[in-house]
């Protein structure tokens, strides 16, 4: 497969952020742009989200036998969070 080159114009602010991200990650700017484009195209193609993967794995749902207001009633949070 042959790679193709395109030209993309970025605002000064976006370019600054891209350069900083590339430095932090030790990668080339073009690698980050390529990753971002591939990610966006995968999203548009309907690739499963992290939520969908977690739901399919059974990590999201209701807990049987737990109080109905477990996630909203502050009384269940006593001892959590240090206050």
Number of helices (H) and strands (E), helices first, in the chain? 3, 0
Residue 29: its pLDDT value, please? 96
Which domains are seen in the chain, by residue range?
9-59 (1.10.1220)
CA–CA distances in Å: residue 5 to residues 30, 34, 50, 74: 10, 11, 31, 56
pLDDT, tens only, 32-73: 999 899 888 887 888 777 887 788 787 887 778 888 888 888
Residue 27: its pLDDT value, please? 93
Residue 83: its pLDDT value, please? 52
pTM for the whole thing?
0.53
* Cβ atoms 42, 36 nearer than 8 A: no
Name the pLDDT band for 82 (thresholds 50, 70, 90): low
């Amino acid at each position: 497969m042959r790679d193709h080159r395109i030209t993309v114009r970025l605002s000064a602010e976006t370019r600054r952020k891209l350069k900083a991200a590339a430095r932090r990650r030790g990668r080339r700017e073009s690698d980050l742009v390529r990753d971002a484009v591939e990610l966006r195209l995968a999203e548009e193609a309907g690739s499963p989200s992290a939520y969908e993967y977690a739901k399919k794995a059974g990590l999201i749902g209701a807990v049987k036998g737990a109080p109905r207001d477990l996630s909203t009633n502050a009384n269940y949070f006593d001892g959590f969070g240090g206050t």
